[in-house]
Amino acid sequence: MADWPTTLEEARALDATDPLSAFRERFVIADPELIYLDGNSLGRLPRATGERLATVVEYEWGERLVRGWGEGWFDAPQRIGGKLAGLLGAAADEVVLADSTSVNLFKLALAGLLARPDRRVIVTDDLNFPSDLYVMESAARLAGGSVRVVPSADGIHGPVEALLAALDGDTALLSLSHTVFKSGYTYDMAALTAAAHRAGAPALWDLSHSAGAVAVDLNGAAADLAVGCTYKYLNGGPGAPAFLYVRRDLQDQLANPISGWIGRRDPFDFALDYAPAPGIGRFLTGTPPILSLSAVEPGVELLLEAGMERLRARSVRLSEYLIVRWEERLAPLGFRLNSPRHPARRGSHVSLGHADGLRINLALIHDQKVLPDFRRPDNIRLGIAPLYNSFADIHTAVERLRAVVVDRLYERYDAAGLTVT
């Protein structure tokens, strides 16, 4: 776009021409003055979620009682997973909701290791979310293997060439975050998956910072395995169940290392021996958390209605606008761009670095009604949720960010994050 808005009025006019702007009204906006740029940590509450939960609590639980299990509760992980699959480029029978991202990563990482006892190494990078690394270390330790962590040269971009060089005949699994949590760097999933396959290994992707904001085509990339959370861009609510994906042809080849009755064939036989369910159902373990599971569905339905192609296009335009405004208004004040410039290699959040980043972030939250988040050492992370963030949000956030520095509001906060006045 040649001529980006330079005033708040122009930004609002641009919002008015975008049909996706109407989706903002379908979320609870308790404080219209608050610029919320942390949807990459916790999405906003869809209005339909409260209505859905009221039905589950008051009717399905309150009136139907235990009959609810036979009236849809047991099927919910696969039914909602089937809907979510439409946002991930997967078939409906390849995605299921269950557990947390860490638990699902453990399941699939260990399953992948146990399927190849002749190979012992998980290859990953140092941009991965730390919890993913902890889980991989646990899985590798149990399987008698190890984790090879490939460093990024600049802490922003994925070390693609070094990862390719690290894949060898001892690689049991390549495991990466599709979009990394600090810089927002986004890997070429198809290219890295193909490289893993050439080395004879499957690829396991963490989609937590991609699902709902970045175009994902698991089948098109021939991806083997994937996990992700539902409380960020999918707007499933705090602690919402995560999801896992297993490509259809691999489902009956892999063993769920956490066997449980819900993942058993005919669970109500209550047999003492474990026989896994066919297909994606074998990767379930325990009783589905119906209340939190039900809260995921309205957010997924909103995204399906909007369409991922349109959502991604809006995400790119909003993040491009943010970078243009950074260059014009913030770079002269010492802010650095700690995210990739090219939109194809950038997710839906933009990280800005500053020597006083922590104090600036606190001043934004407490003095300027802008709610981003901070990731050490100096990243102010601005998450753009294309369903409800706007060009006006971006314009206002940049001007308030500028005011924090120009007016030296951040000096009220010390380096430990404590108010000193």
Residues with Cβ within 8 Å of residue 50, at least 6 apart in sequence: 28
Is 134 annotated as catalytic? no
Annotated catalytic residue, options 15, 38, 125, 206: 206
**51 touches 68 (CB < 8 A):** no
Cα(176)–Cα(170) distance, rounded to whole angstroms?
A: 17
Is 373 annotated as catalytic? no
Domain span(s) for CATH 3.90.1150.10 in the chain: 8-30+307-412
- We find that the CATH architecture of domain 50-305 is 3-Layer(aba) Sandwich (3.40)
Structure confidence by residue, pLDDT tens digits, 242-290? 999 999 999 999 999 999 999 999 999 999 999 999 999 999 999 999 9
Is 3.40.190.10 the CATH number for 8-30+307-412? no
In this structure, are strands 203-206 and 171-177 parallel, antiparallel, or unpaired?
Answer: parallel
Q: Supply the pLDDT for residue 2.
A: 58
Q: Supply the pLDDT for residue 298.
A: 98
Annotated catalytic residue, options 148, 381, 388, 393: 381
Domain span(s) for CATH 3.40.640.10 in the chain: 50-305
pLDDT beneath 50, residues of the chain: 420-421
Q: Supply the pLDDT for residue 181.
A: 98
Cα(24)–Cα(44) distance, rounded to whole angstroms?
A: 10
Q: Supply the pLDDT for residue 416.
A: 73
Structure confidence by residue, pLDDT tens digits, 205-220? 999 999 999 999 999 9
Annotated catalytic residue, options 232, 314, 345, 346: 232
Is 23 annotated as catalytic? no
Q: Supply the pLDDT for residue 410.
A: 97
Round to the nearest angstrom and report the end-to-end CA distance of the chain.
44
Phi, psi of 2 (to 5 degrees): -70, -45
- The dihedral formed by the CA atoms of 233, 237, 239 and 244, expressed in degrees to the nearest 10: -50
Is 391 annotated as catalytic? no
Task: Identify residue 332 by its one-letter amino acid code.
Answer: P
**60 touches 208 (CB < 8 A):** no
Q: Supply the pLDDT for residue 417.
A: 54
Phi, psi of 203 (to 5 degrees): -115, 135
Annotated catalytic residue, options 27, 231, 321, 413: 231
CB neighbours of residue 87 within 10 Å: 23
Is 381 annotated as catalytic? yes
Annotated catalytic residue, options 74, 129, 187, 233: 129
Q: Supply the pLDDT for residue 3.
A: 86
